[in-house]
Structure 1
């Protein structure tokens, strides 16, 4: 398993500890480096073995941080981090999971009360000691005590598939209020990242207090409520509301959608044009003596719409999914933004299961469900035998052929493709006999066991198999549960492109595999993408939207996506 997340966590901890000790500038540099290492497509230990220069090739990883990365990979420690831990001997990660507790709060409570961990924090709050610390009070102490249990339970970020439905319910509730003129999500949720820390919602209204009051009537625990901001906890997630005036709606939507790095690029672009961009709009500060004197200094030239914010910077509107500072601003400036695939472009699903394996519905039921969903075609790809497959056994080769006959005989409104989801063994072999594969229309091959270590050769071998049409959930990851295989996505994508094998985005929100960065690498290599739901019941066809937005995060256009083709186009790809 790649150590990217492990290394990134150490850098994030360094940032938190430096901030707690009052160090300026460095914390941000460490956090940016951590973010880019966490999402990098090459295992950090592989780069570290090549030396510091190889690590420095990662965006925003400079010489000093690269040296620390190599030190950690080689020794298991970063000497400076150990010193910081000695200076502030606390479980800073656990303490900061408590609502309202940041790095400086951790330092203050340690210095005043010797608080080192959640147990110490809880004891201090129960004893009424926190309210006596300068800068704190009874309300802060109460909030800390109320949130300690939640902090103990919430070690993981929420899945997109959990956060998005909650956000939609909240937005429906807000839009019921007559004073709300616009409402949308913001933050990482609007960028459709696979996991989110909380749910951010934004509202345009001139009646902030009334909207906040209406928001707090949502069926949830109220954390705090002010005149234009409020926070709830629902379904185990924090929901943060911000209300802005209509004239600043576009500015706020752009700013709070982020990402931070994307906004920094825009801010620098604005400076080059004697403009200032922030959550209130774009302002002309040419001739202004001190542009930093306030948030609304200068003449506002944009802010009512999100498109106007980009237009003021001589850019087209950049879709939220692309706003990760991965070259999207330069592409927009050059007129090279992709025409991203949309949900309406998809015509079918090429990875689904029935009750012949571990699905909940019959062949006829799945085909009927696909027709009701609006699909033109469906591939039925029940699990075959192999390690990690359903029940440890799966469907035998003879049974697969029997299911195929049932699919062919089905009276269906959609075109039905026969198929299988075969297992890719650790050596790259496929768990179904070649003569059986030859009888099937669509062969999805996926890794299901031995999901650690480098899986590059394994996937390349499967991509080169003449009967394999799609590599399913290629890394085998399960969000918040396992990282899955390390892969050299460039090598896998090259093999897929050369052999007309599609790479799947598994739209199940527990997977979203391939991830967005890998999708972009695949698209750049000329590989074909398949956005499939891995549906085990008709209701799971709704997962398709999560896969489409993941494809958009990877800069995919409709032409890149196999199941954006019509049934005849898919049949041509499958060699039928």
Structure 2
């Protein structure tokens, strides 16, 4: 599918228009981009079947935008976008990764100082040139300089939500071929880290030449970086995809080795050495009687390597789930028989944090509830934005609108196959106060409280503790407010926050949106150890986004979360008990 590729171009179109102070159109392009990205069908298939008319049937994709999409799919070029790039030749994606630098700021910096890259932005800030621009000043310049390093680092890694579907696409391309006996992802993407470097794909085959040829002929590949007898690399949408082919009897050892993490493997190898074993990417070997165990990679008696279970089993260990292979106590836990029974896909019974067209969502309440029921959920929570600081486009519900929405929720509830709960996503201000009135909050089934503004003020633990202790707050939504590779979010002491949440009975959210994954794994681990409840939610603004729950599940697994730790892994009665 080329949906994400096309959506990215529309978002760039929006940014370039905004940078030139064009009104209205930027939001139209962003809405179209969101719906193209989430559309269940491949955009190229729609264009092939029905041209512009079929593409224009996607919600909020008008005729003009549909024409540009079809133009790009047919010619690999969007002429108006190219014209905008020529008018404003800046590295928009890189520059807007700097906290506080939006498209309009990029336009001003280019007009005043001819800044086009992060390096030029950094040099201008260091030289004190930015403060001289009207409306900027020394504080703005200092903030930009402080955040350039994060923007540079973020540009070197890809979001899991962008890379994981790509990995699954290449697996789908290769998996049906007879020469491919086994296939899986490796590296940080298999450990479900929130960002990854490259996509690593491992294949077991007795005919590596055929597999390499199939891989380099992948239609989605933009270019082939290198191709050898057992390895190859291609680039897709700026992401490097690496293939490694091994013989089937070494697939398990290679998978274990290349999954990592490096620290996990070092500790595992040390354990093997203590037992007279050699553990590497080629297998596990008995070397206690070998004079020089370092004389080769395959020396000694081979004990296994076809499956990961043989690698861990040789050390009297169960297979440790990839998500927790970070050398943070998992090997000792395995030795002690105390590995957590991690939450699994399919155990989430409903979503506590979703949006509808009442605020900034794309669908009606009934459509979102139906989508939840179609996924086999037992319940669904409607939690549109309340009005307050930082809410996108001032789309939040007033107190009066929240009460009106309650009536529609009640109507939908009558015909729904599942439980439907009415709530709000309220806002946490800079002082930690929840900005929706208490009398409205008291009438709701569920209250999510989230920070949306003042996200650059650094240490904010006391602010969030104040929110989790609010008597009407059930869930603290996306606690840091971070956007991966865009802004770092609030600085939070999660051990203190988790203790406060445990005492208050307030759940900490794992927001499954691939741009957030907030709480991250470390924060979840703090919550688990403190006994604070966790909620794995999607923050979905359309039905397809409900499927992002898998990213939240695996993030929770990275934090050692078990099923009992997660409030929305409980059945309908269990959720009601939590909310009451």
Question: TM class, shorter-chain normalised?
Answer: 0.7 to 0.9
Measure the CA separation in 1 of the matches of 2:308 and 2:295.
24
Of the candidates 521, 532, 540, which is equivalent to residue 516 of structure 1? 521
1:304-323 paired onto structure 2 within 5 Å: 304-323=306-325
Contact residue 387 and residue 393 of structure 1 kept, 8 A: no
Aligned-pair CA distance for 1:367: 0.5
Aligned-pair CA distance for 1:393: 5.3
Of the candidates 276, 281, 291, which is equivalent to residue 283 of structure 2? 281
Of the candidates 384, 387, 410, which is equivalent to residue 385 of structure 1? 387
- Partner of 2:463, secondary structure, is helix
Of the candidates 567, 571, 574, which is equivalent to residue 576 of structure 2? 571
User: Match of 2:564?
Assistant: 559
Matched, 1:417 2:425: no
Measure the CA separation in 2 of the matches of 1:552 and 1:153.
25
Of the candidates 454, 458, 467, which is equivalent to residue 463 of structure 2? 458
Quick check: 371-380 or 274-283, which moved more? 371-380
Pair 154,405 (structure 1): closer, same or farther in 2 beyond 3 Å: closer
User: Match of 1:10?
Assistant: none
User: Match of 1:261?
Assistant: 263
Contact residue 386 and residue 393 of structure 1 kept, 8 A: no
Matched, 1:192 2:197: no
- Partner of 2:189, secondary structure, is helix
Post-superposition Cα deviations, 1:38-91, rounded to whole Å, max 9, x if no partner, equal xxxxxxxxxxxxxxxxxxxxxxxxxxxxxxxxxxxxxxxxxxxxxxxxxxxxxx
User: Match of 2:335?
Assistant: 333
1:29-68 paired onto structure 2 within 5 Å: none
User: Match of 2:434?
Assistant: 430
User: Match of 1:350?
Assistant: 352
1:77-476 paired onto structure 2 within 5 Å: 155-219=155-219, 220=221, 221-392=223-394, 394-410=396-412, 411-452=415-456, 453-476=458-481
Contact residue 155 and residue 485 of structure 2 kept, 8 A: no
What RMSD over aligned residues (CA atoms) do the two structures have, in Å?
Answer: 1.7
Aligned-pair CA distance for 1:302: 1.5
Aligned-pair CA distance for 1:153: 12
Post-superposition Cα deviations, 1:418-449, rounded to whole Å, max 9, x if no partner, equal 00000001111101110100110010000000
- Partner of 1:343, secondary structure, is coil
Contact residue 351 and residue 533 of structure 1 kept, 8 A: yes
Count of residue pairs brought into register by the alignment: 428
Contact residue 355 and residue 541 of structure 2 kept, 8 A: yes
Pair 572,164 (structure 1): closer, same or farther in 2 beyond 3 Å: same
Identify unmatched segments of 5+ residues in structure 2.
1-93, 95-117, 120-151
Contact residue 383 and residue 420 of structure 1 kept, 8 A: yes
Measure the CA separation in 2 of the matches of 1:490 and 1:336.
22
Instruction: State the TM-score, normalized to the length of structure 1.
Output: 0.73
Pair 557,437 (structure 1): closer, same or farther in 2 beyond 3 Å: same
Instruction: State the TM-score, normalized to the length of structure 2.
Output: 0.72
Aligned-pair CA distance for 1:342: 0.5
Contact residue 186 and residue 257 of structure 1 kept, 8 A: yes
Contact residue 154 and residue 485 of structure 2 kept, 8 A: no
- Partner of 1:427, secondary structure, is coil
User: Match of 2:493?
Assistant: 488
Measure the CA separation in 2 of the matches of 1:429 and 1:224.
55
Aligned-pair CA distance for 1:156: 3.5
- Partner of 2:575, secondary structure, is helix
Aligned-pair CA distance for 1:373: 1.8
Contact residue 424 and residue 447 of structure 1 kept, 8 A: yes
Aligned-pair CA distance for 1:288: 0.6
- Partner of 2:169, secondary structure, is helix
Measure the CA separation in 1 of the matches of 2:189 and 2:370.
32
Identify unmatched segments of 5+ residues in structure 1.
1-93, 95-117, 120-151
Of the candidates 497, 502, 511, which is equivalent to residue 507 of structure 2? 502
Measure the CA separation in 1 of the matches of 2:488 and 2:562.
27
User: Match of 2:86?
Assistant: none
Contact residue 383 and residue 390 of structure 1 kept, 8 A: no
Aligned-pair CA distance for 1:357: 0.3
Aligned-pair CA distance for 1:392: 3.2
Measure the CA separation in 2 of the matches of 1:508 and 1:528.
19
- Partner of 2:339, secondary structure, is coil
Aligned-pair CA distance for 1:484: 0.5
Contact residue 180 and residue 204 of structure 2 kept, 8 A: yes
Structure 1 runs of 4+ aligned residues shifted over 4 Å read none
Contact residue 360 and residue 395 of structure 2 kept, 8 A: no
Measure the CA separation in 1 of the matches of 2:195 and 2:284.
31
Measure the CA separation in 1 of the matches of 2:279 and 2:316.
13
Contact residue 386 and residue 431 of structure 1 kept, 8 A: yes
Aligned-pair CA distance for 1:408: 1.6
Of the candidates 530, 535, 544, which is equivalent to residue 539 of structure 1? 544
Aligned-pair CA distance for 1:270: 0.4
Contact residue 359 and residue 395 of structure 2 kept, 8 A: no
Aligned-pair CA distance for 1:390: 2.7
Contact residue 154 and residue 486 of structure 2 kept, 8 A: no
Contact residue 513 and residue 552 of structure 2 kept, 8 A: yes
Post-superposition Cα deviations, 1:474-525, rounded to whole Å, max 9, x if no partner, equal 0100000111011111111011111110000000000000010110010000
Contact residue 357 and residue 390 of structure 1 kept, 8 A: no
Measure the CA separation in 2 of the matches of 1:565 and 1:393.
32
- Partner of 1:381, secondary structure, is strand
Post-superposition Cα deviations, 1:9-31, rounded to whole Å, max 9, x if no partner, equal xxxxxxxxxxxxxxxxxxxxxxx
